[in-house]
Chains A and B, each alone.
Chain A
Amino acid sequence: MISRIWRTRLAPYALILPGWLWLVIFFVVPTLSMLSVSTMTGNDLDGFKQTFHLSTYSDAWSEYHTQIVRSLVYGLIATVLCLVIAYPVAYWIAFRGGRYKSSLLFLLLLPFFVSFVIRTQSWEFMLDDHGMVLGTLRTFHLVGVMKTLHLVSSSGTILQTSTAVIGGLVYNFLPFTVLPIYVALERVEPSLLEASSDLYANKFHAFRKVVFPLSLPGIFAAVLLTFVPVASDYVNAQILGGTKNTMIGTAIETEYFTNLNYPVAAALSFILMAVLLIGVFLYARILGTEDALEMAAA
């Protein structure tokens, strides 16, 4: 009797216990701890005391809102660019990859075997004033056009502009966009395409009415996996950015490690987290799928 109750009622809870413990120890406790730190006052020398000082949040916002907004804008642009680049790549690998599928995916992940910092550093070499990118642009007399589009600085350089930072972000996070879309497209039954052509849909219609809607969960997951880390990235802006490209990640790092101002660093982290969550939920609503998270997980 007891063993039956155990099996039917308690066993599922026991099974997810390790997961819960993991979440509590490594997410809930640190989060609450940071939340508690964010309302403390004091300094590193005399110590920090809990005073429920909420205005740390408004102070942090008024000091760093430019960087927060900038991070969101960069995140948005980079995510859109990633989607535009990633979708055809994922489509091609899923439908035309054939027996080379796994090799192609491996190639896509290959840059990950090199350190993040070195990858970004090599962009610095490519984008510098005498590097190959500007060299090519000069050969084809495109620098003037780029200047009009504000893609290069007024003195015709790329490094230390937002173009360089967003470029680096797109490059570094592209695989996070490709993989979820690939997984979604991979699951589309080829017989569905045959069926749609039987029903007189041409290739474009088949894509628009069948393949694309089926890949939406993949796109949703891709946007989440790209936008969130991109908006909180702090390496690209530091290496490729200039005086007007600092992102919020860098500011948090400075507050924490350089100024040892733990409350402000914690408050900024929570502001960023809140803004990202609001963004994600709004996005889920606009996409029209209330249980979009569930879809993405499916």
Chain B
Amino acid sequence: MSELQLPPDLLRGLTTPRLTRRRAMQLGGMSALGLALAGCSISGSSPSASSGGKVSLEVAREQIATFWASQKKGSQLNFANWPLYIDVGSKNSDHPTLDMFTKQTGIKVKYDEVIQQDDTYYGKIAPQLKQGDGTGYDLMVITNGIYLDDLIERDYLIPLDQSAMPNFYAYASDLVKDTSYDRGNAYTMAWASGITGIGYDPKLVGKKITSWNDLLDPALKGKVGMFGDTEDLPNAALCAIGVNPETSTEADWKKAADWLKKQRPLVRKYYQQDYVAPLSKGDLYASQAWSGDIFQANANGAHLEFVVPDEGAPIWTDNMCIPQHAAHARDAMIYMDWVYQPKIAALLADYINYITPVPATQQIFAAEAKDATSSDDRDYYTTLSTSPLVFPAQADYSKLHRYRVLSAAELTTWNNLFEPIYQS
């Protein structure tokens, strides 16, 4: 584990990207809004809105092949990721796997922890991509859901070179191959996955929590946290009323919104990522939580439990993808496949503590536990290799559901139902 003492949520909060003056000008001056005055309209960003419709599959494949044939290996990779989402070395600022990558391939990596939330990050890069400018990054990590769907729909991502991902096809778990949000892995490879369940302090709650409906207990008034977003909150509520979010209907959404409204008076706050500290300190007794955060909090000395409620829970995947106009697309491609070697994946999973996309790492951790010289190491690797948070059991998967994929019209209805619950 890292030696970092700060709670992960705080650290995420502290790493807000600062706008450079040039970017501020671009955002304020030349963005869609700035141009609006001249043109009296803001052009849309779906490919069909601007130029004549979609191309046939074969032509698209050919174009992709031609594109990749022109992409040569360079010596630089600009990587945008979330804070606390990669291994950290002894100096606290170095990342051993990135150094290994540079040594083996000669590609230097500029690693920036600039993504804190999909929505705000998307809000920042979308105007740049719309203008046809690069984001400055060759690789970024985006959660499946509304914003990844948008990036794909608007042609803001470069389709992957399917011939350059042998490790992925050899070692990736079924969970992240040919997913519902990216058929055939045309645009993405998974970085890590996680479960949105319930984290709680058994001592303070005084009983075992097994169901979302336990969060309706009046005894928890003012001590319950929920997420203030349009993915985890609604999808969990759909699970709570016993509906599979993936196949839910508008009538189900209304019931889920009613469930959340009923719960609202008990809720202390609809959190972004700042729930870990209050939960560890006891300001919250129970909260909607991400699996890996609870694992990390416990490794830092908290005594929390994480449950996948009986009714089921959302599972999400953070995905590596290449934004349009990336200057070093080939280098990004090389890196994406490189991390799928089990040994490298193990080094990453050892630190990240979310569900690794490479199941073969489980044996590596089991072996580490066996060969460990200190009891601390043995305990840690035993916990890691047997943790259902990092390697969910087959039985768990039947309870885990992907987010509802929404069309533009559905999205409006969805947002209008769920946003007022946490925004007021």
Chain A residues proximal to chain B, CB less than 8 Å: 29-30, 32-34, 36-37, 40, 42-50, 63, 66-67, 117-118, 121, 128-130, 153-155, 157, 159-160, 238-239, 241-244, 246, 250-251, 254, 256-260, 262
What are the 4 A-B residue pairs with the smallest beta carbon separation, nearest first?
Answer: A47-B44, A257-B123, A48-B42, A258-B119
Q: Is B33 an interface residue (CB 8 A)?
A: yes
A30:B274 contact, CB within 8 angstroms: no
Q: Which one of B64-72, B161-169, B276-284 contacts A?
A: B276-284
Query: Which of B221, B230, B281 sits near A129, CB closer than 8 Å?
Result: B281
Does B281 lie within 8 Å of A130, measured CB to CB? yes
Given known pairs A46-B44, A155-B221, A243-B264, the reply for A34 and B16 (CB within 8 Å) is no
Q: How far is the CA of A66 from the CA of B269 in the complex (A)?
A: 18
Pick the residue among B14, B44, B120, B153 that contacts A42 (CB under 8 A). Answer: B44
Query: In terms of DSSP, what is the predominant structure of the interface of chain A?
Result: mixed
B binding-site residues for A, Cβ under 8 Å: 10, 13-14, 16, 28, 32-34, 36-37, 40-46, 49, 119-120, 123-124, 126, 150, 153-154, 221-223, 230, 264, 267-270, 272, 274, 278, 281-283, 408, 412, 415, 419-420, 422-424
Give complex CA distance A1, B108 in Å: 68
A47/B42 in contact, CB under 8 A: yes
Contacts A45-B44, A45-B49 hold; do A118 and B36 have CB atoms under 8 A apart? Answer: no
Does the CB pair A243–B36 fall under 8 Å? no
CB distance from A201 to the nearest CB of B (A): 53
Q: Are A262 and B42 in contact (CB under 8 A)?
A: yes
Contact B283 A130 (CB under 8 A): yes
Please give 8 more A-B residue pairs, beta carbons under 8 A apart, in addition to A33-B33, A47-B42.
Answer: A43-B412, A45-B408, A46-B46, A238-B272, A243-B268, A257-B120, A258-B230, A262-B33
Contact of A129 with B282 in the complex, beta carbons under 8 Å:
yes
Q: How far is the CB of B15 from chain A (nearest CB, A)?
A: 11
Q: Check if A37 sits within 8 Å of B270, measured CB to CB.
A: no
- Bound state CA distance, A294 and B283, in angstroms? 50
A242 touches B269 (CB 8 A): yes
Interface centre among A29, A42, A258 (most CB of B within 10 A): A258
Given A121-B13, A241-B269, A243-B268: A36 touches B49 (CB 8 Å cut-off): no
Expressed in whole angstroms, the Cα–Cα distance for A45 and B130 within the complex equals 11
CA distance A46 to B409 in the complex (A): 12
Instruction: Name the distance in Å between B44's Cβ and chain A's nearest Cβ.
Output: 3
Contact in complex: B424, A246 (CB < 8 Å): yes
- The contact sample of 5 A-B pairs, CB cut-off 8 A, is A121-B13, A155-B223, A238-B272, A244-B424, A262-B32
Alpha-carbon distance A118/B6, docked complex (angstroms): 13
Contact A45 B153 (CB under 8 A): yes
Is the beta-carbon distance between B37 and A128 smaller than 8 angstroms? Answer: no
For A30, what are the chain B residues with a Cβ–Cβ distance below 8 Å? 28, 34
Specify which chain A residues have a CB less than 8 angstroms from the CB of B281 in the assembled complex.
128-130
Closest to B35 in A: A33
A36 and B123 in contact, given A130-B281, A243-B267 (Cβ under 8 angstroms): no
